[in-house]
Amino acid sequence: MEDIADRYFRPRQAADPFVWAAQNLSEAKKNKEERKTVQWRYAILNMHEVIALAIPRLNDRDLKRFHKHFKTVFVDDYATVPHESVERLLALHQAGKLSVKALGDDYDIRQDREKPGAVVVVDGNDISYDAFIDATGQHALSASDLPFPSLRQPGAIKKAETHTAGASANDETRRTGGIEIDDSFRPRLEAGLSNNLYCVSVPFLLHKMPFIQGITSAHEMGSKVSATIIDAVANSELLVHSA
């Protein structure tokens, strides 16, 4: 499994990114016009349904292998971009206004609060930019940022775990990152704490449920949460009425 992503991305990484983008755009437009399904992409798209069943049964070693070597193939297959957006990027590049610099993991971005722009330090070189736009999105909050004092207590919210396959006494329990939730997406809390909190925040779930994203997943999670809330309200009303 370790060489899947390397083989998958190797041709693209060896090509000029804008040449690759132009060729891929041309291919995508042609396939759309001819209503052609690219079978190998479709296979990857559907493969996640099988892999998702296996993820909860992986031990910590295999789960780390999945995240490091295999998950990126699925991420790439999902990461589609509108044709118009690609056309704009190609136009900017052709006009000499856009280039791409691979930073890797060893780089630094320095900003002066009194001056606009930024300096990127990579491979021992300083690259100056007149303007800097942080497009990485909003950073995820941690469980300690919850606005409920009782839930911020150490150990109140349990960290997500996974189990090795089987159901014997020798099964191992491993921490995966994220938080542990029940079937209705409520955090598993210490006894005595209210469980009327629902968590469908992707950053808390991706470690253990790497495919829990997108419109279909949002629909499934929303359906489960809403059904649980409706049941709770209905049961509460029945109790009040009977009293």
Q: What are phi and psi of 182, to 5 degrees?
A: -95, -170
Residue 32 has pLDDT above 70, yes or no: yes
HSE-CB of 100 using CA atoms within 13 angstroms: 14
For residue 113, what are its two tokens? 């609060």
CA-to-CA distance for 176 and 64, rounded, in angstroms?
A: 9
Burial of 48 (0-12, 13-18, 19+ CB in 10 A): middle
Give residue 27's pLDDT.
Answer: 94
Task: Report pTM.
Answer: 0.63
Would you kindly state where each structural domain of the chain is located, as residue ranges? 4-100, 101-137, 143-242
Report the run of H or E that residue 202 belongs to, with start and end.
Answer: helix 202-205
Which of 212, 213, 181 has its CA nearest to residue 199?
Answer: 181
For all residues of the chain together, what is the average pLDDT?
82
Report the run of H or E that residue 231 belongs to, with start and end.
Answer: helix 215-242
The model's pLDDT over 69-111, given as tens digits with 9 standing for 90+, comes to 888 888 887 778 899 999 999 999 999 999 888 888 889 999 8
Residue 241 has pLDDT above 50, yes or no: no
Q: What are phi and psi of 44, to 5 degrees?
A: -65, -40
Give residue 123's pLDDT.
Answer: 85
Residue 166 has pLDDT above 70, yes or no: no
Q: What are phi and psi of 112, to 5 degrees?
A: -105, 120
